[in-house]
Amino acid sequence: MNKVSLIVHGGAWNIPEELEADHVKGVHQAVAEVFPRLRDSLPALDAVEAAVRILEDDPTFDAGRGSRLNARGEIELDAIIMDGASLNLGAVAAIQSVLRPITVARMVMERTEHCFLVGTGAQAFTREMDVPQQEASELLTPRELALYQEIQNDPSFTTRQPFEPSPTGTVGAVAMDQWGNLAAATSTGGTPRKLPGRVGDSPLVGAGAYADNACGAASATGWGEAIMKVLLSKTACDLLKDHPAMVAAQMAVDFLRRRVQGLGGIILINPLGNYGFAHNTTKMAFAYADSSGQVVARIHAGQV
Ligand code: ASP
């Protein structure tokens, strides 16, 4: 049996101290619930979907419940899932009223001829698939309403980052199963006060996530407008061909910074099942199962 590995993240940004404990608890829970099932023969694709669903349910994160509001005060969600064995993928963007967009992304992958559905077409697809439609109030948290009200008319607020991404908290998961298959998944509510219809890096293949058994799998987070320009997840997977996992992760975020002044973070797994993570934001929340199956969950603080 191959080594099995699972790593998840809950966003890379200047996570306020008072939210740190909830972030650690949330990422810990995702790995603690899913890793034993992965070890017990759950396929990698099911593991990343299950881990992201847990994080989408958790109001701490900017995905599913707890998502940021756009400039019109609405929640628009993006997600992607990718199978490293076949390179099949499914993605959705700018969908509303769904708690777990990652599962809709998987339905796109497995129940349509397509890879990516957006907007009203994606919304209609959720109804065809009998995905429960949520009232906006079920996804909205008091924290996000308060942030929206605070920044709604603030002329100095920008999602364009000179120094630090504005509050984010996208979630992602990367797994390798006992057959050596890799998978990656990412889900987000996007950036606060984004223009309606704005899509960031998260659901874009190669940017927000990538998985290929031949080189590795990755999930990214941070400032989407920069991450998409350098296809951060694909760049990191390509670097895995010649570098150890931790080195590849660091090189990828260094390239993000150097080439497009981008800030963000990445988690990844190489075909040996080794983890890599790096970020150039102040903090990143992530968790993984170590070689003895213990969950390591933390807020990693680094230098901007
Ligand atoms: N990358 C996401 C976006 O730009 C935000 C995040 O990762 O927190 O939509």
124: its two tokens:
């209609």
> What 3-state class would DSSP assign to 34?
helix
Atom of ligand 1 nearest to the CA of 11: 8
Nearest to 284 by CA among 17, 6, 9: 9
Residue 41: its pLDDT value, please?
Answer: 96
| Distance between Cα 170 and ligand 1 center (Å) | 6
| Distance between Cα 41 and ligand 1 center (Å) | 31
Residue 304: its pLDDT value, please?
Answer: 45
Among 8, 202, 266, 279, the mutation site with the greatest number of ligand 1 atoms within 8 A of its Cβ is 202
Nearest to 124 by CA among 107, 141, 144: 107
Nearest to 187 by CA among 58, 94, 80: 80
- For ligand 1, whether the C-beta of 11 sits within 6 Å is yes
Query: By 3-state DSSP, what share of the chain in percent is helix, strand and coil, each rounded to 5?
Result: 35, 25, 40
Sign of the Cα torsion 31, 37, 39, 43 reads: negative
Q: Mean pLDDT per 10-residue run, the chain (304 residues)?
A: 92 92 98 98 98 97 94 95 98 96 98 96 96 92 90 75 66 98 97 93 98 98 95 98 98 97 96 97 95 95 68
Domains and CATH numbers, the chain: 5-301 (3.60.20.30)
Sign of the Cα torsion 131, 135, 136, 140 reads: negative
- Respond yes or no: is residue 170 known to be catalytic: yes
Residue 116 contacts residue 41 (beta carbons within 8 Å):
no
Residue 302: its pLDDT value, please?
Answer: 78
Q: Rounded CA gap, 103 and 124, in Å? A: 15
Q: What's the whole-model pTM score?
A: 0.96
- For ligand 1, whether the C-beta of 192 sits within 6 Å is no
Identify the H or E element spanning 220. strand 216-222
Quick one: CA torsion of 128, 107, 224, 268, rounded to 10 degrees? 170
| Distance between Cα 1 and ligand 1 center (Å) | 35
Can you list the pairs that 122-131 forms with residues at least 24 positions away whose Cβ atoms lie under 8 Å? Answer: 122/92, 122/93, 122/94, 122/95, 123/95, 123/96, 123/97, 125/92, 126/95, 126/97, 126/98, 129/104, 131/98, 131/103, 131/104, 131/107
